[in-house]
Amino acid sequence: MRRTDREIRDPEAIESVIRGADVCRLAFSEAGIPYLVPLCFGYRKGVLYFHSALEGRKLDLIKRKPKVCFEMDMDHVLVRTADRCTMHYRSVIGFGKAALVEDAVEKQEALDLIMHHYHQEPFAYPVATLERTAIIRVEIDEMTGKANGC
Ligand SMILES: Cc1cc2nc3c(=O)[nH]c(=O)nc-3n(C[C@H](O)[C@H](O)[C@H](O)COP(=O)(O)OP(=O)(O)OC[C@H]3O[C@@H](n4cnc5c(N)ncnc54)[C@H](O)[C@@H]3O)c2cc1C
């Protein structure tokens, strides 16, 4: 990272960005063509979970090219002074491997984690919802955190 003064080094502080962000951007690459999708997500111990429809471009890519890059950010504050304009933020960028979750128990747990990321109270969804929902698991290989002004 060029601005080492902005690097978040504490793993707990990096995780706090993951816990606080409400959107994760998941990026794929195939034959030199990038593809990025914004998604809701859940997180537990180095693993990100996403829910999805059962088909679509990102699922096709995961099956062929499972290496992904992800990004999330929060605490945006636009700061403007007489001679300077900047954006304060905290962000995380990481790399990992994506796979579709087939195990019914893990699918249920993943959906619970995603719901818990956004809602404090437990959420009861019909069992049939699980059957028409794909769950994506991303095992994180590495990630870095960065903060500007936070
Ligand atoms: C804040 C936010 C949260 C979201 N959360 C979820 C989530 O939790 N789960 C989920 O499945 N989806 C979520 N979406 C929608 C998601 O970004 C994708 O649109 C969706 O997952 C379909 O992706 P796909 O690769 O299957 O696209 P496909 O339906 O296969 O469509 C492919 C083409 O559609 C276009 N496209 C796809 N997505 C978008 C987009 N978001 N904006 C503009 N053009 C697009 C692109 O040109 C792409 O080439 C969210 C979107 C936003 C903005």
So what's the pLDDT on residue 25? 98
Is 39's C-beta closer than 6 angstroms to any atom of ligand 1? yes
Residue nearest to atom 45 of ligand 1 (CA): 37
pLDDT at 143 over 90: yes
Ligand 1 mean position, distance from CA 56 (Å): 9
Is 56's C-beta closer than 6 angstroms to any atom of ligand 1? yes
pLDDT at 11 over 90: yes
So what's the pLDDT on residue 123? 80
Instruction: Supply the pTM of this predicted model.
Output: 0.95
Is 113's C-beta closer than 6 angstroms to any atom of ligand 1? no
- In order, the DSSP letters of the chain are ---GGGEE--HHHHHHHHHH-S-EEEEEEETTEEEEEEE--EEETTEEEEEE-S-SHHHHHHHH--EEEEEEEEEEEEEE-SS-EEEEEEEEEEEEEEEE---HHHHHHHHHHHHHHH-SS-----HHHHHT-EEEEEEEEEEEEEEE--
pLDDT at 130 over 90: no
pLDDT at 78 over 90: yes
pLDDT at 120 over 90: no
Ligand 1 mean position, distance from CA 147 (Å): 27
pLDDT digits (tens, 9 = 90+) for 86-114: 999 999 999 999 999 999 999 999 999 99
Q: What is the mean pLDDT of residues 37-51?
A: 97
**pLDDT bucket at 1, cuts 50 / 70 / 90:** confident
Give the domains, in start order, of the chain with CATH numbers: 4-148 (2.30.110.10)
Is 37's C-beta closer than 6 angstroms to any atom of ligand 1? yes
Higher pLDDT, 124 or 63: 63
pLDDT at 131 over 90: no
Residue nearest to atom 50 of ligand 1 (CA): 39
